[in-house]
Amino acid sequence: MSEAIFHGVFFEKFLSITYYQTLIGIGLLLICFFAVLKPLQNKKVSFSIRMLVGLILGAVLGLGIQAMAGFPTTPKTWMQEIANWYGLFGRAFIAFIRMLVIPLIFVSIVKVIIDFSGKKNLPQIAFRGIFWLLFTTAIACIVGIILANLFELGEMSSTSVHHAEAKQYTSIIDTFVNLIPSNIIASMVKENIVGLVIFSALMGLAANRMEKKNPQPIALFKTFIEALYKIVMSIAMTIIKYMPYAVVALLARTIISNGIPAIIEVSSFVAAVYIAMLIMLVVHIAIVMLHGISPVMFIKKALGTWLLAFTSRSSVGTLPMTISTLTVRMGVNSGTANLVGSLGSTMGMNGCAGFFPALLAVMVAHMVGIDTNFQFYIMLVIVVVIGSIGIAGIPGTATVAATVVLSGMGMAQHFALIGMVLAVDPIIDMARTLANVSGAMTAAVATDREVGTMDMEVFNDPNVILDNDNSA
C-alpha cells in the first residue's frame, strides 16, 4: 500500500494532493490536453472529431487509473484526489456554460417573440414543438416498459440494495401551478425554465403590443435584445470551443469515481438504459426521415451536440450548442430553434423523464410484487408524460423525475429500492442526457419542417460549421 508523501491540512484538505499517484494523474490529464488535443485544435480539425478524440482519451484515462489501483470497489484516497482535480476542469466548464443558461433563455425567447411580430405561426410552432417533445417522451416510456420486462428488472438480490431517502416531491396539480413564476428572480435561481419561458414570452408580447404607441423606446429595446443575444451567443461559442478538453476530464472523473464493480452490479439496468437510448436515437432519426430529412446528414451535424450532452450530463448546459447547431448547421429557423430547444431542456426529456423513470417504476413494481397489468402501464405512460413537464435539465434531476413517477404510481415508500441504481447514476445520466438533447433537436427539426421555415440548403451543406470551429 502506497504511503502519502505530503501530510497536513494544507495538502489533504486545501490542495488535495497527498500521494504521488495524484501528481501522475494530473500529469496524464495535462498530456492529453496539450500533447494530443492542442495540436488538433491548432490544425483546425473538425470539432466533432476533437470531441470523439476527447471521449476516447477520457475513457482510456479513467480506465487506466482504475487499472493502476487494481479496480477497487471503492475509490482509494489518491483516486478521490485525482477525481477532485479533474473536477477543476470538467465541473468548471459546466459552471461556465450553466452561467449563460438563464440569460440565454431569457434573451432568446424575448427575441423569438419580437422576431415573430406580426407573424401568425408562433402558436403553431409552440404547439407542434410541445407535441413532438411529449410524443417522443411517451414513446420513450413505452420503450422503457418493454426493456424492463425483457431484462426482467427487479430480480436483483435484495442484499445489494443501498438505503436512500426520497426527495421532496410535489403533486401533479402543484407541478402545473409551480410552472407559473410568482417571483421571476426566484424562478431564475431555481432554474424553473418553463416559468422563465412564460415570463420572457410575456415580455416579448408586451413589446410587440406597445410598439405602435411607443415606437422609439420599443425600437431601442429591440436593438438592446438583439445586441444582448449576439453577445451571449458569442460568449457561449467561446466557451464551447474548449469542450473537447472538458470531455476528457468529465468522463475520466466519472469512471474513476464510480469504478467497474459498481457498474457490473447493476449491469442489467445500465444495459437497458443504453439500449433505450439507442432505440430512441433510431426513433428520432425515423421522425426526421418522415419529414424529408437525410438521416446521414442529421447524424453528422448532430454528433458534436450529442457528445457534449453525453459527457456534460446537462440538457440545460448543452442548450447553447443545441440552439447553435440547429440554426447554424441545420438551417432551422432561429425562432423555432430557440423556442423548442429551450422547452426541450425542461419538458419532454426522453431520457431523464421518459425511459428512465419507466424502467425504475417497473423494476420497483417487480421487486415489491405489484401486479404490472395493462392498466398499470397505461397509468405509467400518463404519469411519465405529465411528470416530464417542468423538470430542469441539469445533472441529478432525473432522481426528482423518478420520485414524481414513483409517487404518482403509489410507490413512493419504496424509493429506497432504487439506491443501487443511484450509486452509478453518472454513468446512466450520460445516456439519459444524450436522449434528452436528441429528442429536443428532433422536435425542433420536425416542427420547422412542418411550418415550412427550415433552410434546406444550409442543412444539406456539409461544409457549414459552428463559429467555434472557425476560431478553434
pLDDT digit string, tens, across residues 272-292 = 999 999 999 999 999 999 999
d(CA 453, CA 448): 6
Q: Mean pLDDT for the chain?
A: 81
Is residue 255 included in any domain, yes or no?
no
pLDDT above 90 covers a percentage of the chain that reads: 22
- Is the domain of 358 the same as that of 299? yes
- Is the domain of 370 the same as that of 452? yes
- Look up residue 34 and give its amino acid: F
The residue-averaged pLDDT of 196-223 equals 87
- Is the domain of 25 the same as that of 87? yes
- Is the domain of 169 the same as that of 38? no
**pLDDT for the residue numbered 161:** 43
Is residue 243 included in any domain, yes or no?
no
Is residue 192 included in any domain, yes or no?
no
- pLDDT, one tens digit per residue, over 389-447 is 756 555 556 666 777 788 778 787 777 677 667 656 777 888 999 999 999 999 999 99
Cell of 383: 404519469
Boundary residue ending a domain (65, 98, 131): 98
Is residue 248 included in any domain, yes or no?
no
The residue-averaged pLDDT of 91-109 equals 76
Domains of the chain: total: 2
**pLDDT for the residue numbered 471:** 39
- Is the domain of 167 the same as that of 74? no
What residue numbers bound the domain in which 368 lies?
120-183+260-471
The residue-averaged pLDDT of 196-212 equals 85
- pLDDT, one tens digit per residue, over 443-461 is 999 999 999 889 999 898 8
- Is the domain of 430 the same as that of 369? yes
pLDDT at 128 over 50: yes
- Is the domain of 272 the same as that of 356? yes
Is residue 79 included in any domain, yes or no?
yes
Tell me whether residue 206 is exposed, middle or buried, using C-beta atoms within 10 angstroms of its C-beta: 0 to 12, 13 to 18, 19 or more. Answer: middle
Residue pair 392/319 in contact (Cβ under 8 Å)? The answer is no
Helix boundaries (H) for 374-424: 374-387, 397-408, 419-422
Is residue 336 included in any domain, yes or no?
yes
Bigger pLDDT: 258 vs 193? 258
Boundary residue ending a domain (44, 68, 98): 98
Is residue 403 included in any domain, yes or no?
yes
- Is the domain of 363 the same as that of 431? yes
Is residue 88 included in any domain, yes or no?
yes
Please name every residue paired with 389 in a beta bridge, in sequence order, or none if there are none.
347
Cell of 354: 421518459
- Is the domain of 271 the same as that of 390? yes
- Is the domain of 53 the same as that of 149? no
- Is the domain of 363 the same as that of 467? yes
Which pTM value belongs to this model?
0.69
- pLDDT, one tens digit per residue, over 226-285 is 899 888 878 877 887 787 888 788 778 878 887 766 566 678 898 999 999 999 999 999
- Is the domain of 299 the same as that of 420? yes
d(CA 64, CA 120): 57
Identify the CATH number of the domain in which residue 269 sits: 1.10.3860.10
pLDDT at 470 over 60: no
**pLDDT for the residue numbered 423:** 57
**pLDDT for the residue numbered 157:** 41
Q: How far apart are the first and last CA of the chain?
A: 44
Boundary residue ending a domain (40, 66, 98): 98
